[in-house]
Copies of this chain bind each other. A is one copy, B any other.
């Protein structure tokens, strides 16, 4: 059974590719099913606030999470459930946060995709797009100051976030400081309803790399094998001192921007294109065609995942909500400075 606690990272880097692929696939599957559960709870009116899913982006996300190791840092964005799990986030962090439980990592203070555990290298995103990249830079600068070499940091963004000044300043900063940053841009063709033609005008987002003096990579975001290899290489490059790595993964958002959105604006043409493939199905076919697992095993993984999700949801539902009377209304670590 897959653990709901952080997955142990393989000790040997030379682990068999099929083994990595299977592990990655299982995280993707767990993420997909966990998100589908959230969506159904949302439709049942059981979730306060929004629900944002990563359907169609699990391959690139999991490849990022799985390439990182202890001591690395990850700044996921809203579509990174798979990467979060692979990096070590417990499924409970996901369910407890969505449900606003007092015992969750955000204690009901912040919700859904904003969860994180900074001490464990999992950054809690703020909503403002692009803002997490320079935070990762700072952690990498701190690592350098503290002599902690060989650690890297990965940040996820959508293609829409490349239009923010924050993205630009941070990538330039990483380049000047030659930081081991892996910046993964998932170009899923839309930023909310906005198509790429209204977001940028370059032929390919990877053309930005040269303008920052960083290495650029592109990958088919629907193909798990490619994602694992490419991100794996990019992470190794960064670890080896090669400076920032800009990765552009192409895909299509297979869900609404959030679960409130029917994404009627997504072009049918794009859905038909290869980038419209479902990366989970693609990965599954690969497993079967390579005989890395048989149908019976896949089914058991599916059942295991559902079981874990049920457990996590059931547990989280029973957890107490925050009690405003017990709440510590203090925004200061130096509590004596609070006027609250």
Contact = CB atoms under 8 A, between A and B. Distances in A.
Contacts of A166: 165
B203 A178 contact: no
A169 interface: yes
A205 B213 CA distance: 9
A211 interface: yes
**Residue with the greatest number of chain B CB neighbours at <10 A, chosen from A165, A169, A198, A203:** A165
Interface in A253-291: none
A325 interface: no
Contact of A211 (B198, B199, B202, B243): B202
B199 A175 contact: no
Between A166, A176, A214, the greatest number of chain B beta carbons within 10 A of the residue's beta carbon is seen for: A176
Nearest to A211: B208
A7 to B, nearest CB: 35
Contact of A165 (B168, B178, B202, B213): B168
A129 to B, nearest CB: 12
A210 interface: yes
Contact of A201 (B168, B169, B175, B200): B175
A205 B175 CA distance: 13
A176 B203 contact: no
A169 B163 contact: yes
A170 B305 CA distance: 46
Contacts of A168: 165, 167-169
A224 to B, nearest CB: 28
A208 B197 CA distance: 19
B164 A176 contact: no
Contacts of A70: none
Contacts of A176: 197-201
Interface residues of A, number: 29
A36 interface: no
Interface in A150-192: 162-169, 172, 175-176, 178
Contact of A175 (B165, B178, B200): B200
A42 interface: no
A175 B207 CA distance: 14
Contacts of A212: 200-202, 211
Interface string A211-230: 11110000000000000000
A68 to B, nearest CB: 24
B175 A169 contact: no
Contacts of A175: 200-202
A224 B169 CA distance: 33
Nearest to A176: B201
Given A176-B199, A200-B172, A210 B207 contact: yes
10 contacts: A164-B169, A175-B200, A176-B199, A176-B200, A176-B201, A201-B212, A202-B211, A202-B213, A203-B210, A211-B212
* List of 10 A-B pairs having minimum Cβ-Cβ separation, nearest first: A165-B165, A201-B213, A208-B211, A168-B168, A175-B201, A202-B213, A211-B211, A207-B210, A207-B211, A165-B169
